[in-house]
Structures are given as structure tokens and as C-alpha cells.
Structure 1
């Protein structure tokens, strides 16, 4: 347990990051927000995860997009902007850009500024006729857009089943916020589907250890940026299937009794106690359609791969 109140704040650290970590470690089930995975090293490791043979999500979604992106051309007004919250390396968005030559602008948004600007520079070089306008920010707290695009029609692109990282109430709120973006005409969103739990666990606990490194990097980041004293060697990565909540959970499990300090607070860990770092909810086509409808969207089309591992949905404002 936390045995004293933390200092009000420190000028040398990100106050929001500090507050979120203090709050998360003070819970009965210690937890951290997955958005903090994505420093430069975390973003690099996630790109590696997307290439792993066990991680079917990326290659399956890419195949669906390549097969179906051409159907989007003509459904979106000429001169529209493509907005991608949580853009990362902007690999998948290129399929849409190639299929929709009438787009006028691309707005990638991401919390990792260095990674974002590098990928945006590559997009600008490869698509010289496109106005590429990256925005550094946390889309979970609001989708900020560059000046001058308020009246421009916008197609949102949210791949990777990132929506599954949020609890149902949070996911509904995020979808509603996307529905409220000025000028939005549609949302193309990737949604992972329920399947054999063994296959799911393998995708989030690869034998190469890349996902483990990605999870453990969060401890390294907190030590560097917040001054925590985590011993990363005293924690191990674990992926768990929670059938009742239809989700994969990622945890960092303490391998021994230990104490971690942060900003004047101490947090006790028992051997086997975990920090819950991420959820990845899995849906059926129908259950996601119901979630989208509750947030003001109407299901247009839903595309899947032959094995029905993954789905891509085109939603329109309801």
C-alpha cells in the first residue's frame, strides 16, 4: 500500500504522467494506462510486435484493407481530410491514401512526437500533393485538429483494434467523441474478433520476448522520467485471457516481495502481485455494432478475413 501522501508535484516531470502513475499504483489492483507505453523505445518495440508471426492482427487487417479500400473511393467527398488518431508509423493509412486520390489532407495524431514527425515526414515525401499536418497529442482527451480544417469533410481512420484497449464505457465515450468531430463523414475502424484463447494469448506473449520487452519498457520509462526505482529484472510479463470480460489482459508480475518509491510515496508488492498494464477487448460483429450505435454511429459495412480473425468496419454518422 501507499503509506504516505505524495508531494503536490515536481517541475521536472510530466505532471499528468506522475499523477496517473501515483493513482494507478495506489489501487487494490495496481494499474497503469497503456498510452504510456509509447515513448520512442516503446513505439519502436510495438512496430516489431506488428511484424511477429504470432501477432495476426496487423497482417490480417492489412489484407482486409488492401482488398476493400477501393470501395471507399466515391463514398467520401472530394477534397476530404483523412484523420488518424494514434497514427504510430502510419503504415496502414497509405493503403487508404493510395485508394482515395481525391483526398486533400492527412492528419496523423499521436502521443509520441518524435515518432510521429518522422513518419509524417515520410508521408509528405511520398505524397507530395497531400497536405500532411501531424498533431502531437493524446486523442483520449480530445481530438485536436490543425487550423483551417473545420469546414473540411473528414474521414477518421482508427485501425489496429485500438478501440479494444478501452473498457466498454470508455470505448463508447471515445466513439462518441469521434462522432462529434466537426465535418466527420465516416469512420474506418479495425476491430479484433473473439477466437481460440490459446491463439490470443500467443499473440500477446510471443516466444521471441518482444511483447515482454514492450511491457517491461514501461518500468524503464517511469524510472527515467519520473524517478521511480523499479527493478525491471524483478518483474515478468504475463498475458491472461479473461473470458467473462472478453479480453486479453497484460500484466507485469512481481517475482518477489519488494517496495517501489515515487515522489515521497512507497508502494509494497507481494510476490505474484501484478500491475495491470493493458486490456485488449475482443468483439463479435454484432457486439461492436451495438457499441457503435450507442455512440451515434450507423454500421455501413463490415469486412472480415476468410478465417474471421479480424474485422474492419465503415461507420457513418447516425
Structure 2
């Protein structure tokens, strides 16, 4: 869990019935040899509320640490963006973080928030426009994991990208590199990208961040089963599953799982699935990087590393990249 991921793909009901892609993903995931569910389905209304609660927990450092970096180093970060740039935020969601940079960017050609949730996107854009009346805001409703176009009248403006929250860590490294390559194609050669990346650190700190003492992250993970019960006609017994999160040092990632407490049978839309006692559903990965490791990943995707800013404890990092090579696919 890094930042909300509803912005990667929607899961809205179709014609008042269950979302067909949601149902298909759940059936195929539970039918896999190692059961899994996509983290993008965490974020129904209750899941989003729980995630916001997680960001305020004492154990969960990423959000407050990245905000502190943007507050402290915002002028320097902004100074590295080209004058008169169009600033494109991928998966913008809430505008909390970009607001840290905007006061230092008085000459932006435009701010272009990109998000798949059009209603929320428009609402946030309107509010931002009221708070920054001189700023041109051009929202684009699109899934940033797929190719999309920027407004035609901004094609000649220099481009900069903003991708905070360490959302990149939710992607497998190969997919993360492909996404960075896609950003380079969208922004163009010579563009700048500011990206938040969570860092490898003491295992105890990471484990606590994803398994807090108050049990909020456990509720967040289990809420996925509640959603499946409600929307897909499943019969998961929530007391029959427990939350598990741990840092795998070999793979460099946090894994979140739901663990079956007993041998049990669960049905989803009438399809039965057997769970052995101790069997898990893998619900999320969150990759952590070293600074050199992320530089190598970015370079493989056509980006040269320009600057990095970290907090005093080395928990989190914000990177400035320059697109040196556009890799067509």
C-alpha cells in the first residue's frame, strides 16, 4: 500500500449489476494456483476512508515523510522544472501534494491532472482553480497506465511530470520500468519527472507500517472481502481470515496477504473455492528501492537521474529525472 490505486483502473458497477471486470478478476485470482486479488479493488468508499486513516497512523511514515520533503525542498524541486512547463500529474487523486509545489511555480503553462475517476477529478480541479485563480487547470480523464493524449494547445509547451506517493512500488519492477517508459513517451524527450519512491529500511519499521498496532491496516485488507461479499454475492466469513504483512528482504517488497484461519469453502457468484487452513490470498506488493537501485530502473526506462531529496532518517525519497531516450515499446 503506497497511495490509493483506484486511479489505476475503475471498478464501477455496470447497469446496476456487479462490475464484470471485478467479477472476472476475482474469479481468476481465486482460481489461480496461488490465490491472489488485485490491490486496485481495495478502494471502495470504506477502503478509501481506511487508507486515509492509515496515512495518519504513527507507524505509517510514507505520506507525512514525503509531504515534509516537499515542504522543505519544494523551492529547489520546482526550480528544476523548465520555465513555462505544463505539469502533468499521473493518477492525481487528491491535490494535497502538488499544492506543496504550486506556490513555487508561478509561470506554469498549465497544471494537467490525469485520473480515471472523472467526477472526483473535476471536483478537485475546480477547487484547485479557486485556490490558485491564476493557474490554468486542464484535467484529463484517463487511465495513466495506458496511452493517452494531452491537450492539443499544450503540445509546444515543455513538459514535466509529477508522480508522488511511491505508487510505482505497487508495480512489479518490469511493469514499473514499462510505466516509466510510457511516461517518457507522453512527456517527450528532455522532459522532467518528479517521482516519489519509498526506500529500503529496517525490516521492523516496514513490517510495522503495514501491520499497525491499532489494526487499521488489517481492517483495510479485510474490507476487500467485505466488498466482494457485497458486490459479487460472495459468502466470505471475515472471522475466518486474518491480515498478514511482511517485508521479503530477498525480493525487496512488502507483501500483504489474507490468511485462512481454517479449512473452509467460499463461494463467489455461485463458484466454489476451497481454502486450506493457513492458505493465503496475496492482495498487494509494495516494492522498496535503494537510491542506486531506482536510478538503474529509471535508466533502463530511458530516464537519467538528475537529483534526489530524502528525509534526515532516509525513509523516503523524491527524485528528479530527465527523459534522455524515448523507447517506443
Residue 101 of structure 1, aligned match among 88, 103, 106? 106
The alignment covers a number of residue pairs equal to: 310
Cα displacement (A) at 1:143? 4.7
For 2:140 and 2:243, how far apart are their aligned partners in 1? 32
Name the counterpart of 1:281: 287
Q: 2:274 is matched with which residue: 268, 273, 280? A: 268
Find the residue that maps to 1:97 and give its secondary structure: helix
Corresponding residue SS for 1:181: helix
Give how far 1:77 is off. 3.2
Distance across 1 between alignment mates of 2:322 and 2:188: 12
Aligned-CA RMSD value: 2.3
Other structure's SS at 1:280 match:
strand
Counterparts of 1:55-134 in structure 2 under 5 Å? 55-113=60-118, 115-134=120-139
* Bigger mean CA deviation after superposition, 182-191 or 192-201: 182-191
Distance 1:13 1:240, change over 3 A: same
Question: Deviations along 1:229-260, whole A, 9 cap, x unmatched?
Answer: 32223222111111110111111112222222
CA distance in 1, matches of 2:245, 2:44: 21
Q: How does 1:137-176 map to 2 (within 5 A)?
A: 137-143=142-148, 145-146=150-151, 148-176=153-181
243-252 or 207-216, which deviates more: 207-216
TM superposition score normalised by structure 2: 0.86
Q: Which moved more, 1:275-284 or 1:73-82?
A: 73-82
Q: Give the whole-Å Cα distance in 1 for the aligned partners of 2:264 and 2:139.
A: 42
Cα displacement (A) at 1:124: 2.3
Q: How many angstroms apart in 1 are the aligned matches of 2:116 and 2:40?
A: 8
Structure 1 segment 44-55 matched on structure 2, within 5 A: 44-55=49-60
Shift of 1:282: 1.0
Q: 1:133 to 1:172 in 2, by over 3 A?
A: same
CA contact (8 A) 1:252 1:274 kept: yes
Q: Hey, what's the Cα distance between the residues in 2 that align with 1:52 and 1:144?
A: 38
Would you say 1:231 and 2:237 are equivalent positions? yes
Contact 2:257 2:281 in 1 (8 A): yes
Residue 72 of structure 1: CA displacement?
3.3
Compute the displacement of 1:312 (Å). 0.8
Name the structure 1 match of 2:9: none
Aligned 8 A contact 2:188 2:323 in 1: no
Is the CA contact 1:143–1:178 (under 8 Å) kept in the aligned structure 2?
no
Shift of 1:115: 4.5
Q: Secondary structure at the match of 2:244?
A: strand
Mapped pair 1:315 → 2:311: no
Of 132-141 and 64-73, deviating more is 132-141
Consecutive unaligned residues in structure 1, runs of 5 or more: 1-8
Aligned-pair distance for 1:209? Answer: 1.9
Q: Which residue matches 1:210? A: 216
Q: Does 1:258 align with 2:264?
A: yes
Which of 284, 295, 310 is the equivalent residue of 1:304?
310
Equivalent residues of 2:260, 2:279 under 8 A apart:
yes
Q: Are 2:5 and 1:18 equivalent residues in the alignment?
A: no
